[in-house]
Structure 1
């Protein structure tokens, strides 16, 4: 049986054997990888996109799936549908296990794939900074599966809370701790506060939601690092207005699934800790270790070539292009990945034509974050000028930008209809428990046996 599967895999790979054209293999179909694939559409190259999922995920809206604002299907789109008209591209759903740069071969879960040019666009993964206990007990939001698991966990907690009589156990189910004051942490905190105010009291009439605490912990002295002081202060003001407890200059020392211990000695009780405190690159085994720097990112030059290689590139979150302006590499957000993917497509075409490649220069278009309905902050860079705005206008811009950036008309329409309905009805339609969730109360917990009718 195993031999038959291997034969089938090799037969499948044979369909994309080289046809006398340079082969570009792209590992990862995130913002950068997808943009690169599109940029190579009308070239005399054979393009192979490899990803362990068969869909592209619009990560900026992942938190809305986690907080029952959107269906998961609204933020994902199949690669085969997105790239269906690109004749020079083949997609393979596989996990990359190793790269042999000498033989120019990728070892994957479905077999071997040869390349002439390899582009690593594997993005980032959650960074727990070596804390295994935190990784085991907390919930992250780095994939659609994570987002669905968090939604299931939140809803399961409230179902369980209806059966618990002990006050401390009840609070442990109703209280949420979010670690990380970046855009994800701020947006999750804002979304949970809206659920607490408008949705949950109608669904769970037997629960006193004055007992529900939302706590956001940030290690620095301000929120939204990288944005303006005005944006940071306004985000803090909005969150506090929404009843979110924001703890600045605090770090989480430990979390055992029940008790959060801070570096100040403070302790918080919660069954749900949401980790939004950091990310690290997701490198591929086989690339020389000296090419990997702090944060598991590849050191690349201005052409996105990984240090020590001429035909192996990295783009997006996994790439650290060190410049005077960006001594730690470009920010790990969508825009650098999109811009690098587009330029690398042009540069590979130039290289094939014997023309010099153009160096990458990041055009920072600014940043924005939403804290909830009619509340957002935006720092924009347009026409060489900086524009800062907060409140309703910033929220409208956030809505427009994210709708336009979504991949596919169907997704844009679905999200627009969902947001429009939710805006006027104060309703969330995705409040169901389906699939994996964290068990909120362990069976050995004595309080689990205290049930109220």
Structure 2
């Protein structure tokens, strides 16, 4: 049972979101004289950097997910509620949720981000985002469903739209996902679908700027593009999506591709409950904070991770939307709250320490930037695997992931190619018209 403010012995810190930032805040407040309450719509933490491997069948969903309650089973000052947070009342210092209202002394908004379709409702309706475990499983099912549908078509022309896979967005998500789908084409298609030719399947990566992995070094960008092309991915640079009706995706250069599968990884936007005034919302639907992660105009309220926009002289465009930034902000906020409770001064602003960036482009191919050090190829791939393996929560998850990766490396043919819950995408309007006219 959670006590009301007047009944509690210690201040309450409410954390909205069980992602990298929220988890770090809770962990750093262990043994502090506070009551930590985490609220999330899911009862598990997701290791998002490996989400694409769930989407392509390399890993099961539970290999990159870990129960939040189990994660904090030894932390006596931690409590968890699985709920939707509906509204933040800054005057009453309360959060209203789907399971009740909770008061707070300090509030940390770490609710993360969702896909940004930049106002294109048609694209949002028919394309597949990948910001949650369920969305990754939808992609896995839908890719396999389209391969099954292609087998049923008699001629190549009828099969083509089922075998064209378009990934929009040339960041780490898009690059890693397109490389993984290309490996399905190279190593799995002939074995599982002998009726289909690997030459019929096409993987497209669409990027609006002039290079992929723009946040990494020029060399990493060039290397990753080269690796993608070696895998057979058709890289389309300086190309922007203008529409997608569920059957045909169109671009600003006048080109189009017939496809049933468009996976959207071109942008993200912050997601958070109602109650934050519009004056404090920055581009990308992010909450503006000062240099100490505090939401301006909101007493005792912090925002960290993808949902925050720390616009300062040192970070005029905000912090990068990566896990290390969220984790470092989480540790900073926990220390900031602890200092307030101990009557210690908080004079320093948050400074992000960039440990480096990396991305994998299929088997034996990856790029790594660590300061002035650049790695590519097989050694970069080993580095990428080692870092991600250490970062996954739970010994079982680490072991399962390592075993899966080892089997895939040795056989080139591992994977969870199961359609458990068939994904039903909205029926395109053009298809509906065809059905009506035929009847």
Backbone CA RMSD of aligned residues: 1.7
Aligned to 1:432: 418
Report the CA distance between 1:324 and its aligned residue: 3.1
* Alpha-carbon distance, 1:297 to partner: 0.7
Secondary structure of 1:392 counterpart? helix
Q: Pick closer, same or farther for the CA change 1:25–1:436 going to 2, 3 Å.
A: farther
Partners of 2:68 and 2:422 lie apart in 1 by: 25
Q: State whether residues 156 and 200 of structure 2, in contact with CA within 8 Å, keep that contact through their aligned partners in structure 1.
A: no
Preserved contact between residue 235 and residue 376 of structure 1 (Cα < 8 Å): yes
* Shift of residue 287, structure 1, vs aligned partner: 1.3
Query: How many residues of Structure 1 are paired with residues of Structure 2 in the alignment?
Result: 432
Aligned to 1:355: 344
The equivalent of 1:324 in structure 2 is: 313
For residues 115 and 432 of structure 1, do their structure 2 counterparts lie closer, same or farther at Cα, with a shift above 3 Å needed?
A: same
**Alpha-carbon contact 2:126-2:425 (below 8 Å) kept:** no
Answer yes or no: is the 8 Å Cα contact 2:169–2:208 preserved in 1. yes
Aligned-pair distance for 1:310?
2.8
Does structure 1 residue 121 correspond to structure 2 residue 110?
A: yes
Match of 2:362 among 357, 372, 378: 372
User: Aligned with 2:223: secondary structure?
Assistant: helix
Contact kept in structure 2, 1:62 and 1:147, CA below 8 Å: yes
Distance 2:432 2:274 in 1: 41
Rounded to whole Å, the distance in 1 between the matches of 2:110 and 2:57 is 29
Determine if the alignment matches structure 1 residue 24 to structure 2 residue 24.
Answer: no
- Which whole-Å CA distance do the structure 1 matches of 2:422 and 2:292 have between them? 42
Corresponding residue for residue 108 of structure 1? 97
- Residue 235 of structure 2 corresponds to which residue in structure 1? 246
**1:179 — aligned with what?**
168
Report whether the alignment pairs 1:211 with 2:197.
Answer: no
- Checking the alignment, whether the CA contact within 8 Å between 2:288 and 2:308 is kept in structure 1 is yes
Distance 1:141 1:16 in 2: 39
5+ long unaligned stretches in structure 2: none
Counterpart for residue 303 of structure 1: 292
Contact 1:156 1:440 in 2 (8 A): no
1:79 aligned to which of 46, 51, 68: 68
Aligned match for 2:322, one of 318, 333, 338: 333
TM-score (norm. length: structure 2): 0.95
Residue 334 (structure 2) aligned to one of 330, 345, 365: 345
Alignment of 1:7-406 (within 5 A): 13=2, 18-357=7-346, 358-381=348-371, 386-406=372-392
Q: Distance in 1 between matches of 2:187 and 2:422?
A: 26
Secondary structure of 2:205's counterpart equals strand
Q: CA deviation at 1:140?
A: 0.8
CA deviations on 1:347-376 (whole Å, 9 max, x unpaired) are 111110101123211001110000011100
SS at match of 1:162: helix
- Structure 1, unpaired ranges of 5+: 1-11, 448-453
2:414 & 2:176 partners in 1: Cα distance? 16
Q: Is the 8 A contact 1:63 1:147 kept in 2?
A: yes
Change (3 A) 1:411 1:127: same
CA deviation map 1:52-77 (0-9, x unaligned): 00000000000000001100010000
Is residue 185–residue 198 contact of structure 2 (8 Å, CA) maintained in 1? yes
Displacement of 1:226: 1.1
Q: TM-score, normalised by structure 1?
A: 0.93
Matched residues in 2 for 1:439 and 1:293: separation?
Answer: 32
Structure 2 CA distance for partners of 1:277 and 1:105, relative to 1, 3 Å:
same
Compute the displacement of 1:44 (Å). Answer: 0.3
Aligned-residue offset at 1:14: 5.1
Match of 1:419 in 2: 405
Which residue of 396, 400, 407 corresponds with 1:410? 396
